[in-house]
Structure 1
Amino acid sequence: MASCLCRYRRRILFFCSPCILLLPVYIYVSVALYYIMKHGAPYGARVVHSVLPTHFTSCGLKHSRDLAPHPAKSFWKSELDSGALWNIIQHKTDRQYNPILRPHLAENPSSLYYKTEMSRRPGDRCSPNYEINNTMPDYAKLPIQMKNFVTTMHCRDHLLIIDPLDVCDAQAKKGAPSLLMAIKTQTANFENREAIRETWGRSGNIITLGGQQRLVRRVFLLGKSEDLHIEEKLHLESEKYGDIIQWDFMDTFFNLTLKDVLFWDWFSRRCPHAHFIFKGDDDVFVRTPAVLDYLLAEEADGNSSNGSRQTNKMETFVVGDVISNAAPIRSNGTKYYIPESFYKGLYPSYPGGGGMLYSGSLAHKLLEVSQRVHLFPIDDVYLGMCLQRLGVYPISHPAFLTFDFPKDEPKEPCANHTILLVHKRSPAEMFQLWNETSTPSPECRYVKLRPD
């Protein structure tokens, strides 16, 4: 009997021993699960919840009754609500070069520009992309200038046909121009360019109204035309004056943006130390001596402040007739027509393209940021888009009259002495205004600029 009990005891111990050994593990797991369900995961554990609680305590903070709510929506939108072509392309680019999502770009913001420069091959020509019409449902109904832009808007590297070498000394900081005038014109506008050269766009040492002398340089920005006779005359004009910059693209209204982008590249190589840039059309009148006085006052105001503030001010300085809260024009009959299938939304604030001033420092920044802003068919709106991504707000000044004087104001005797720029003016009117403002009457000699 004893031997039988012993035999069964051994069997019981054989089967029960593992259960006895696993009992503490079972108790530990049960207690751990209960703790996690009640208090959350212990430090170092990874637990995936299928449903997040309404509120949470941020990591590293003590438990508190003041809990932070979860965001109602995702922080980064992966897709746009709009199906407009430009918005989609730019949304992808903005995400790709977002300094939070891609922090290495914040440390080296010129990396994209460097990559673009390295990818260029001399002699390459950019071909139109006719497959783009499949992405715009109304492509067949678009005006011809919009069709041409949409199929070539990926092309931004165009060869120089005429490149003046003696406008500035690119290596000399000391002899750098105080003002570089970059004037948009077309090949056939010979009279406008000649009037500008002889009046407000003179190149050389210019005497300001305050009696100081400052160096001014001038260039005209052009594409090409289909008229071979006019092209021949343009080359003769370039040989005579040395102030023509021409690129290998058709000179159309929607290609004006290319003149900005390509000029910033030319400026960085040929005239990088110019203090300020005037960019405007060839049918404006500019009181250049008054402009120089205005710029000298802006520099003096910066120098009287802290050094850091002065640096920031000059690096972000841009002034003109600022247009805010503008919306795209949807009327098919105007040259500014932008269809909803191409762009949706308001435009950012921008200085009117008739004429504006900005610092040379800002021009270098515009070159970099333009490499990650997709081309837009209206040049001054495109500048606003670049400024927006730089966090730069243009200054509005009432002396820039890109839409001419208000009604009846030109009749006042000293009206033309209160402006920095007025648009539009013919070559004959430029000569008349130059003579009037160069030798002001006693009553107009000390008139101040137009107030707000």
Structure 2
Amino acid sequence: MGFRRRSRFFLAIILLAGLCLVLFHSPLYHQVDYSHSIRNAPAEEIPNSPRPYINDNDTTAQPSTEKNKREEGVLAQPSTEKNKREEGVLAQPSTEKNKLEEGVLAQPSTEKNKPEEGVLAQPSTEKNKREEGVLAQPCTEKKKREEGVLAQPSTEKNKHIPPGLEKGILNLSISNSFAKEIPLNGAYWNRLLHVTLKWMDGGRNTIRSWPTCRELSHEQLLTNVHDFTSYPDLAQDFVRGINCKSPPILIDQPKKCSRSGDVQTFLLFAIKSIPWNFARRQAVRETWGKEGVHESGLRVHTVFLLGSSSLDDPDLRQLLAFEAQVFGDLLQWDFHDTIFNLTLKQHMFFKWSQENCPRVSFVFNGDDDVFANTDEILVYLKSLEPKKASQAYIGQVISTAGPLRDPKSKYYVPLSFYDGPYPSYSGGGGFLFSGALLQPLYFMSFVFPFFPIDDVFLGMCFKALGIVPMAHAGFRTFDIREQDRENICVHKHMLLVHQRSPRQIKKLWRGIRSPLLTC
């Protein structure tokens, strides 16, 4: 009997010891004890210990699990392929295709992450919260646009460059003299250009996914442009969206040139306008921009190039839609129509024309406040020799210009943005060029970083293609002598005069075509 009692006593002791051992190793025991130690110990005493989430309103520490929400800046995120990099924390992988070129950060290009040059790519999901100024907002009708910059969404259509565009870019040939004319220095645009030229000179094995627009962040801009905050607002907007090259089209005219039937379009007027300039557009339609086949048997077509009004302007969308339906000559894209976005407008015209009017012989590029003498233009173009016609870039040539450094000027270009002279170019009020150059100009404007002054940018593109501007005395983009501005005979043999009001345009047009005119 005594033996049995002693046996039961020792068995109870063994069971009690085992229970204590189990409780000692229990997660609950350690959880409470561990959290208590963290609450009472300085952080530096436990540098290697992971910190669980602690509710300040509860004395009981929460378990550290996969479902536990991490305190911002306390618990590090796990490093996995799915983990998205925190801005400025986790460095991008360094590969042969991802080199830092002259202070510009190049990001890796993957199927899920199509970054723009100098922009940190964010995951494209509905749950992802965009960092302010880093990730471009999706471009939808409901989205409120940042003034002057149109951000493009990452879609299946713009994740990859179309094969024709990629092939054209790979086959581009850059003039040897162009790189020498644009100096390599510390200015932001100069560095961007020479990064591009170096890439093109190195074989261009891969095309960067530039159609996907991502707005540059404020931190990245300050890294590359030290005085960025001193730029005027429009200039800041331009620099932020310098990689945005594919705004959606709002009003299209896909059958503009196909309506010609058997008669090929000889001259296409591409007129830069803005949404509220209806009177100017109508004056052009009724005079020198009137579409049809002229007495010489040459067909002329006209399109007006528009951006969008800002949110502070009256909503003209219904009026523009009606105007486009009646006249069939409006092209409009979804970007803010400002002077610094004229380069984007020109680029989008190149894209549209090589898709919809690829066989046009010549293009007249001009403003909606110029007077053009269509008959004289057609006679002149018809007289050109075939070789000269295929390389035509004709207008009032500006050969000794440089950036304006006065911040009050609408053409102001800061020294930190561009440092160097301008190549020779034709004045943007109006000029002619060969339709054969539309496609290479589109490729070139796609590859080169945008420049805020559109006629200077076009001069750079022509220069890179090896095309030299041809001066013609009939182009007067800076007007004629004041005493001659009402003289019909002076205008009789001019090709272009800038600038004129709608009323003056109609009066001049009637005058030079009058059978009673004697000069």
* Pair 1:342-2:417 in alignment: yes
* Structure 1 residues 424 and 413: alpha-carbon distance in aligned structure 2, compared to 1, 3 A threshold: closer
* Pair 1:206-2:294 in alignment: yes
Q: What corresponds to 1:224 in structure 2? A: 308
Equivalent residue for 2:496, pick from 421, 424, 440: 421
Unaligned runs of 5+ in 2: 1-178
Alpha-carbon offset, residue 163 of structure 1: 0.6
Equivalent residue for 2:467, pick from 385, 389, 392: 392
Q: What corresponds to 1:88 in structure 2? A: 191
- Measure, in 2, the Cα distance between the counterparts of 1:275 and 1:158: 27
Report % sequence identity: 39
Alignment map for 1:321-400 (pairs within 5 Å): 321-400=396-475
Alpha-carbon offset, residue 327 of structure 1: 0.8
Alpha-carbon offset, residue 346 of structure 1: 0.3
Alpha-carbon offset, residue 331 of structure 1: 0.4
* Pair 1:150-2:236 in alignment: no
Alignment map for 1:124-139 (pairs within 5 Å): 126-130=214-218, 131-139=220-228
Alpha-carbon offset, residue 125 of structure 1: 5.9
Alpha-carbon offset, residue 372 of structure 1: 2.2
Secondary structure, counterpart of 2:244 in structure 1: coil
Secondary structure, counterpart of 1:285 in structure 2: strand
Q: 1:17-47 CA distances to partner (integer Å, 9 max, x unpaired)? A: xxxxxxxxxxxxxxxxxxxxxxxxxxxxxxx
Name the aligned partner's letter for residue 232 of structure 2: P
Q: Which moved more, 1:356-365 or 1:124-133?
A: 124-133
Equivalent residue for 2:340, pick from 233, 240, 254: 254
Structure that is richer in helix per residue:
1
Q: What corresponds to 2:479 in structure 1? A: 404
* Structure 1 residues 438 and 249: alpha-carbon distance in aligned structure 2, compared to 1, 3 A threshold: same
Alpha-carbon offset, residue 367 of structure 1: 1.2
Name the aligned partner's letter for residue 86 of structure 1: W
Alpha-carbon offset, residue 374 of structure 1: 1.1
Name the aligned partner's letter for residue 444 of structure 2: V
* Structure 1 residues 198 and 170: alpha-carbon distance in aligned structure 2, compared to 1, 3 A threshold: closer
Q: What corresponds to 2:319 in structure 1? A: 233
* Pair 1:436-2:511 in alignment: yes
Alpha-carbon offset, residue 370 of structure 1: 1.7
- Measure, in 1, the Cα distance between the counterparts of 2:336 and 2:285: 25
Alpha-carbon offset, residue 138 of structure 1: 1.2
Q: What corresponds to 2:148 in structure 1? A: none
Q: What corresponds to 1:140 in structure 2? A: 229
Q: 1:156-209 CA distances to partner (integer Å, 9 max, x unpaired)? A: 11111111123111997x5221101000000000100111111111011122xx
Q: 1:64-114 CA distances to partner (integer Å, 9 max, x unpaired)? A: xxxxxxxxxxxx99xx7621000001011111112xx43xx6xxxxx87xx
- Measure, in 2, the Cα distance between the counterparts of 1:215 and 1:290: 14
- Measure, in 2, the Cα distance between the counterparts of 1:81 and 1:269: 35
Cα RMSD over matched residues?
Answer: 2.3
Alignment map for 1:288-307 (pairs within 5 Å): 288-298=374-384, 302=385
* Pair 1:276-2:362 in alignment: yes
- Measure, in 1, the Cα distance between the counterparts of 2:380 and 2:184: 45
Alignment map for 1:78-117 (pairs within 5 Å): 82-98=185-201, 101-102=202-203, 115=207
* Pair 1:215-2:299 in alignment: yes
Q: 1:397-446 CA distances to partner (integer Å, 9 max, x unpaired)? A: 010010000343446561011200000000000110010011154533xx
- Measure, in 2, the Cα distance between the counterparts of 1:224 and 1:133: 29
Count of residue pairs brought into register by the alignment: 337
Check whether the contact 1:373–1:385 (CA below 8 A) recurs between aligned residues: no
* Structure 1 residues 148 and 405: alpha-carbon distance in aligned structure 2, compared to 1, 3 A threshold: same
Moved over 4 A (4+): none
Name the aligned partner's letter for residue 254 of structure 2: L
Q: What corresponds to 1:175 in structure 2? A: 263
Check whether the contact 2:488–2:508 (CA below 8 A) recurs between aligned residues: no
TM-score by length of 2: 0.62
> RCO higher in 1 or 2 (8 Å CA, sep ≥ 6)?
1
* Structure 1 residues 158 and 181: alpha-carbon distance in aligned structure 2, compared to 1, 3 A threshold: same
- Measure, in 2, the Cα distance between the counterparts of 1:119 and 1:366: 16
